[in-house]
């Protein structure tokens, strides 16, 4: 049974995504997502698994308002993001969504603290208040003594924790993670998994993680598999 709309932070119904691919003189329709449903409540977490090419990244891009669905209904934080103008959608992503990728994408010339503050620059927020919040996040993630270090001076796991703090700096309602432990060794990956679990629970964000790592996926509330363009319980 679907969750009531008012309780869902992520609500996807009958999501369809298809592409047109040219094969010689013919144009072939490639269906990536077909009638997909997903509901994630505040404080809930879902890990999505599936083979390469199954559509995991496509789904995450749609949830991140980086790609448009072909058909279906998507509501994030109570809004239809695809009804917004380009400028409104950019503001929505900045305020309501947090992103953690396989690669940390930190600015090499900036300190850990400065990297965490980057999303606040768009909002032109008062720097002292934003900096205080950024320091608090880094301390929670065990980086209290590493705030002024640049990415080259941090380990892979530390860099990914900085990326998590950056994703949470604007207090988003939804946190989207694309293979967040994919480039880390087992110990660092386990540390990142614990960080995500603790932050998701304490901050009550809706967490959606795409991963190939089944051990990592099983740590979250639900394990779903993307099969034939639809999600199934894992």
pLDDT, residue 122, reads 78
pLDDT digits (tens, 9 = 90+) for 154-181: 999 999 999 999 999 999 999 999 999 8
pLDDT, residue 125, reads 62
Question: What DSSP string describes the chain?
Answer: -PPPGGGEEEEEEEEEEEEEEEETTEEEEEEEEEEEEEEEETT-EEEEE--TTSSHHHHHHHHTTSS--SEEEEEETTB-GGGS-HHHHHHHHHHHEEEE-SS----TTS-HHHHHHHHHHHHT--HHHHHHHHHHHHHHTT-TT-TT--GGGS-HHHHHHHHHHHHHTT--SEEEEESTTTTS-HHHHHHHHHHHHHHHHHHT-EEEEE-S-HHHHTTSSEEEEEETTEEEE-
pLDDT, residue 75, reads 97
Order of strands, edge to edge, in the sheet holding 71-76? 26-41, 8-23, 71-76
pLDDT, residue 124, reads 66
pLDDT, residue 200, reads 82
Residue 210: phi and psi, rounded to 5, are -105, 130
pLDDT, residue 6, reads 52
pLDDT, residue 23, reads 74
pLDDT, residue 5, reads 47
Q: Which residues contact 179 (CB under 8 A, 6 or more apart)?
A: 101, 102, 210, 211, 212
Are residues 33 and 55 in contact, defined by beta-carbon separation less than 8 angstroms? Answer: yes
pLDDT, residue 4, reads 46
Domain boundaries, the chain: 5-106+156-233
201 CB neighbour count, 10 Å cutoff: 13
pLDDT, residue 90, reads 93
Are residues 49 and 26 in contact, defined by beta-carbon separation less than 8 angstroms? Answer: no
23 CB neighbour count, 10 Å cutoff: 7
Q: In angstroms, how far is CA 160 from the centroid of its own chain? A: 13
CATH number of 5-106+156-233: 3.40.50.300
pLDDT, residue 126, reads 63
Which residues of the chain carry a pLDDT beneath 70?
Answer: 1-6, 124-126
């Amino acid at each position: 049974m679907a969750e009531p709309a008012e309780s869902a932070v992520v609500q996807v119904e009958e999501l369809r995504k298809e592409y047109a691919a040219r094969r010689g003189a013919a144009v072939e329709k490639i269906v990536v997502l077909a009638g997909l449903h997903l509901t994630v409540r505040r404080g809930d977490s879902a890990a999505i698994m599936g083979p390469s090419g199954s559509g995991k990244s496509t789904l995450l891009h749609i949830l991140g308002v980086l790609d448009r669905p072909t058909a279906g209904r998507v509501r994030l934080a109570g809004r239809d993001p695809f009804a917004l103008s380009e400028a409104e959608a950019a503001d929505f992503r900045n305020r309501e969504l947090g992103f953690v990728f396989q690669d940390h994408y930190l600015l090499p010339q900036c300190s850990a603290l400065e990297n965490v503050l980057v999303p606040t620059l768009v909002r032109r927020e008062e720097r002292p208040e934003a900096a205080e919040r950024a320091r608090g996040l880094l301390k929670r993630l065990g980086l209290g003594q590493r705030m002024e270090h640049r990415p080259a001076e941090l380990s892979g796991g530390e860099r990914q924790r900085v990326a998590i703090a950056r994703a949470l700096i604007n207090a988003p309602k939804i946190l989207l993670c694309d293979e967040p432990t994919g480039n880390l060794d087992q110990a660092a990956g386990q540390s990142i998994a614990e960080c995500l679990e603790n932050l998701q629970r304490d901050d009550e964000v809706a967490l959606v993680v795409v991963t190939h790592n089944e051990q990592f996926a099983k740590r979250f509330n639900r394990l779903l598999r993307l099969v034939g363009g639809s999600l199934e319980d894992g």
